[in-house]
Chain A
């Protein structure tokens, strides 16, 4: 497997990185052998992203050493990392929307290949590793899951020795995740190493031979996940802060319908968008209803229709008895609805603006919170921001950072907390814990249940089956623009749901061919 050398492929010693007073990485050391799948576990703010950025050359460490195949190296930028043979699949994709899959991949390669040749290579690699992809598709027509495949294929085309994967399964169905694991095991069998960043303990146990655990910037342990239980791993990762989700059976005896959707159809905006076909369902006060499905099957269209970013005809959507079909997003907020978008950066928040001003984004036009006449009341906005950050434990580097400065999980806690701050009657939330670590996920999920039990209706659009079974009272599957009837989540098996989701994917694959 290896070429006879004893040195590990990558060895990291005493890596330290400080941002002002915050020590993001404090004396970190670990090793990755050839052909090994090595997990990196940790909460948000634990320093995983910083460590990975240092390995990939996007950040320079303040101290410590990186050895590659036994030789000390200075990874001064990502191009150097790629030349060494380190590839990375990011959690946030860096793809140009207006270009095709092939063009995007061509941009990342050091030499400009002929596009037709490259397209064939892409088709070959994607088939070889079980990542179906149409090389001619434009990125903006692809679902999140498909975009991830582009990133993986792009990485593989550079023939890396070490592949860093940042939360790769957060956008995949169980079947897709299984497929990915087959791919990863094949890569590892070829002698390639994988640094696998995840907060899903089950995956780490299933896939990885070593796990390095970070907490608050410090190395907690490097151990063999097979010798640990999920519980012991979780405790190492989050200290003693983890808590179990408390669920109770929804009490919806009075059947007060807070959201009623009656035959909503949406035409596709663009050629490749999925249209919504005759969607109908009711959600009552006190319950959490989940809409399962893989991204790209009408999830974002449904969210837009529910939020009022795209309006529909009258008599199609009722919120707490009010005909809201033709109402815009702020009018719907005024009658008690709140919305959390999937994309927290750029949709849920304005990246360049401070958190205080981002509070105003969804609040100012409804209740005059944080404004005085036409003017912004900065003091009041800052108070609201502090309240939200405190109740949702948003960790930030300064008093009022800009949205883009927060890590993914902390920003998610902020955008969820912002809507809770308004005590909504109806909450529609799209992918509530996408790319969020275990501690923050538990907090958000518990909050959703508590909100419902306090008398609100909660609609969760999610592709995370663990999440759905953890919090939902009823579940339906949205696939290719059509919604199945809701069933009680206690009477539905993972397999049934998985098949519905997987079936959608087969259909999708057939239509793309």
Chain B
């Protein structure tokens, strides 16, 4: 007797919606078994990892703060991946956006007023877009693989940032510490509304809604999709492959750059040698967990942000290693991919001898 995967004739509608929830349930279950195996009470382990981070208002704020850059970058990457362009360098575009957006508060710090923050956001977007266009141009001009070039440009961006905060942009009053001057109040992303919601989160939500409408409702969005699923049909529709590559890299790079400046101007309020715990790479998982759907990305980003926080909490309270975070993130990805398999396939039991 053995099991066989058989392709369904049509996708299972129910599973399209249920699959992420089943995956989360599996993750919690596996997490409990895992905690039991390393000698932690599984009930307490699950509580600390999955429940506690969303049980208090301040920790939910933290969750949202961590989810914000993941939403922005993940939504942009969805567009890129849908069109079959593999931008692996969002981490670098994040840094490029943070650097470009910081020109005003670091170099022209005397300049204050209500225009400062909007200008910073625009420059952050432009910086990320420009940095994203580098691998795009290398691809369209020379046929270079964007996977390699965009990834290599991450390290260039990281080292350039490191040099900037130790050299030209170092705060003269920092006693030699590698950091820029702290941004003045006009250059800080505020909280808004009665619940003190971080304005960056609102920007991220608006961006993902705009991208969702773009993909579902506009002709250009349709062309993005068919560029990925049927490139010859896209050519037949008159879509220029070159322009499409440049477009999706500019948008995804720009959104990563916007995430970068929002993170810097909202959380640390200054540039440091390291400004991201790997958001640009985690967002690749977010994009796929969210099914390359900008609204799905919002939920995927919250889930991934939760595993970051849960990992920190488990480290503090349960005295377990921070590797737990990676294990759980791995299980999430594994479970969702496994569950998604059943959307298009079903299991069939095959008796021996057939």
Residues of A within 8 A of B (CB): 19, 74, 76-77, 80, 307, 309, 328-330, 333, 339, 341, 343, 346-353, 357, 360-362, 364-365, 371, 374-376
Contacts and interface: CB of A to CB of B under 8 A. Distances in A.
21 contacts: A76-B354, A77-B4, A328-B238, A328-B240, A329-B237, A330-B238, A333-B238, A339-B236, A349-B230, A350-B229, A350-B230, A351-B229, A352-B230, A353-B229, A360-B222, A361-B233, A364-B237, A365-B219, A375-B218, A376-B218, A376-B222
Given A330-B238, A364-B219, A375-B218, A343 B232 contact: yes
Contact of A374 (B4, B218, B238, B240): B218
B217 to A, nearest CB: 5
A374 B219 contact: yes
A376 B217 contact: yes
Given A76-B350, A361-B237, A362-B237, A346 B232 contact: yes
A328 B354 CA distance: 55
Contacts, number: 75
A350 B219 CA distance: 14
Contacts of B226: 350, 353, 361
Nearest to A398: B10
A329 B225 CA distance: 20
Contacts of A307: 236
Contact of B236 (A341, A353, A364, A371): A341
A329 B222 CA distance: 18
B341 interface: no
Contact of A351 (B219, B230, B236, B238): B230
Given A357-B222, A375-B218, A376-B218, A365 B238 contact: yes
Residue with the greatest number of chain A CB neighbours at <10 A, chosen from B217, B218, B230, B235: B230
Contacts of B238: 328-330, 333, 365
A364 B354 CA distance: 52
A76 to B, nearest CB: 6
Contacts of A77: 4, 6
B217 A375 contact: yes
B233 A348 contact: yes
A347 B218 contact: no
A349 B220 contact: no
Interface in B238-275: 238, 240
A80 B354 contact: yes
Given A329-B238, A360-B219, A352 B229 contact: yes
B9 interface: yes
Nearest to A357: B222
B233 A375 contact: no
Contacts of B9: 19
Contacts of B218: 374-376
Contacts of A76: 350, 354
User: Which 4 A-B pairs rank lowest in CB-CB distance, beginning with the nearest?
Assistant: A330-B238, A350-B230, A350-B226, A350-B233
B31 to A, nearest CB: 35
A361 B226 CA distance: 9
B54 to A, nearest CB: 37
Contacts of A80: 354
A339 B233 CA distance: 12
Contacts of A328: 238, 240
A349 to B, nearest CB: 6
Given A76-B350, A330-B238, A343-B232, A353 B217 contact: no
Given A19-B9, A376-B217, A353 B222 contact: yes
Given A19-B9, A376-B219, A362 B236 contact: yes
Contacts of B220: 374
A194 B219 CA distance: 48
A72 to B, nearest CB: 13
Given A371-B219, A376-B219, A348 B236 contact: yes
A74 B351 CA distance: 12
A151 B238 CA distance: 33
Contacts of A371: 219
Contacts of A352: 225, 229-230
Given A347-B233, A376-B219, 12 more contacts: A19-B9, A76-B354, A328-B238, A329-B236, A330-B237, A348-B233, A350-B226, A350-B234, A353-B226, A360-B237, A361-B233, A376-B218
